[in-house]
Structure 1
């Protein structure tokens, strides 16, 4: 099937600006849906009216969530801003999907430990890091050897959500396990080098700036994939990190085995990290910094989770 020259031009812009592959895929899907919704008219011939009708269609007829509608809007805004140098202003009658007011699901320390203990290496270590450092799943998967600072008991998170860097805590209880994981990565890397390979996956701009880094051990992923694959943009064969679906599969099996009736995802461990810190008396601004939240209001949602426990309120039945 022939590729759309216009969509390929958007792909090139996304890659030039170093957006992630996942963001690239999502943006292109929503731009294509926007074009198809408007009977394949070229976006340069459309504007606010067509965008507002599309977003209203998503909210009213498709009944998408607010996050899905916002993703579609971000994709379309990106297209007009960078492909046509136009800033969009939504019309007042645009129907916006209402975000639900949800309280995050959290695990107690005992529940988290029960789940993790049912996992095999390296997944048990990966979830201990999620629970012990508050990283997002994608941030954990993108960790490289160089990002671990044993002396300062810190983890450097580069280009996290919002393309922001931050430092979070390396749990002392996992230090030996992390060192053992690094030794296993070294064995894999040495074998790859002996096979004439040994390349890791790097963003295109970084690979050009630091060509030596592709085979440098410190740039290898802490949790590498079991097989080598083709780099999605540069075409060379490399060892990427583990795929996120592997974590989800292992987690589902562990939760099922333990018998916990909560809806548990990898992100639940991040929520649990925050609530445990607050329950232990850690200042909320410190928690905000460790989580990488720009707005304190985002962190304050966890005070609602622990509020009933920290204020000493008892049920009338009790």
Structure 2
């Protein structure tokens, strides 16, 4: 019995299982953030049961772990769902085990909250306190309705200055969509890209300049990663090792895109400086974009398409935060 336990511990501690998970995730072209999150939840699941190998466990242990997250750790519903997705991926895609429906899981409560929306004056106040690249990113978020990572992962080829549109690739749910390019950002973006092009040329001169290529394009077109059109619109200020580098391989040094934490910090300070009491984040610009379009009389189906929502019911949430409180009903106090 002791030998079996030691063998199980060794199997868990070895990189074999996690490497299998990592390989399956990359085969399905999940994002690096999904990969990191799934691996972290799988590790936590294994450690929760004293390093037992997942093949020795099943739906009972998964239910216990997910219930522990909701009852003992008080995690948000989205966090519990992420953990559930990671474990279902492990069992279905890696271990080849179809878990029965998890009926006995204590579900974390998902609060029904309305999105935070800035007024047009507040948007102007926040943007007025941002500078440089942070201003340009924030302006794109409000002007196009993009999510922050959608903006930061933009490639040079995704911006069409002639048609005044931006192609958003591999958005949430692996969906592509097209949104407008605000006219007021055309010249600032061109000026910004001129600086980025010079930075890219400097990298090439130094023996670098190759960017991460999505999915299998890096193998199909091995030199395309050095082309200007594939470079990030908002590159990082420094070179770094590609997080997808496998253990034992020679490190791949690339210039990644700007980190979202940088924009979040700048946004947080701008909100404070503007003396706005709302808990606004970069994602608030997306909410404000949708709300202000609806206030301007645009059809909700159009807004749904620009946001990339699969169901119009998701877009309907913005009808509850339009510029009139209480469903547009005038207060009787104002009639006195």
Max radius of gyration: which structure?
Answer: 2
> Which residue of 2 is the match for residue 41 of structure 1?
52
* Distance change in 2, residues 1:3/1:252 (3 Å): farther
1:221 aligns with 2:240: no
Q: Tell me, yes or no, if structure 1 residue 206 matches structure 2 residue 217.
A: yes
Q: What is residue 10 of structure 2 aligned with on the other side? A: none
Rounded to whole Å, the distance in 1 between the matches of 2:102 and 2:325 is 44
Say which of 102, 127, 132 aligns to 1:116.
127
- Size of the alignment, in residue pairs? 317
Given that 2:320 and 2:327 are in contact with CA atoms closer than 8 Å, whether structure 1 keeps it comes out as no
C-alpha displacement of 1:91: 3.4
Displacement of 1:310 in angstroms is 9.9
Q: Does 1:286 align with 2:297?
A: no
Q: 1:204–1:300: structure 2 CA closer, same or farther, 3 Å change rule?
A: closer
Structure 1 unmatched ranges of 5 or more? none
Supply the distance in 2 between the matched residues of 1:102 and 1:312 (Cα, whole angstroms): 19
Give the secondary-structure state (helix, strand or coil) at the position aligned to 2:333.
coil
**Corresponding residue SS for 2:229:** helix
Please provide the CA RMSD for this pair. 1.6
CA distance in 2, matches of 1:43, 1:294: 34
Q: Which residue of 2 aligns with 1:24?
A: 35
Find the aligned partners of 1:311 and 1:47 in 2 and give their Cα distance. Answer: 48
What is the Cα deviation at residue 210 of structure 1?
2.1
Q: CA offset at residue 264 of structure 1? A: 0.7
Per-residue Cα deviation, 1:255-276 (whole angstroms, up to 9, x for no partner): 1111100001110000000001
Q: Distance in 2 between matches of 1:143 and 1:62?
A: 36
CA distance in 2: counterparts of 1:135 and 1:293, whole angstroms: 12
Match of 2:98 among 87, 91, 96: 87
Distance of 1:160 and 1:109 partners within structure 2: 26
CA distance 1:134–1:82, change in 2 (3 Å): same
Aligned counterpart, 2:116: 105
Is 1:15 equivalent to 2:26 in the alignment? yes
The alignment's TM-score, normalised by the length of structure 2, stands at 0.90
Q: Flag the 1:194–1:182 CA change in 2: closer, same or farther, 3 A.
A: same
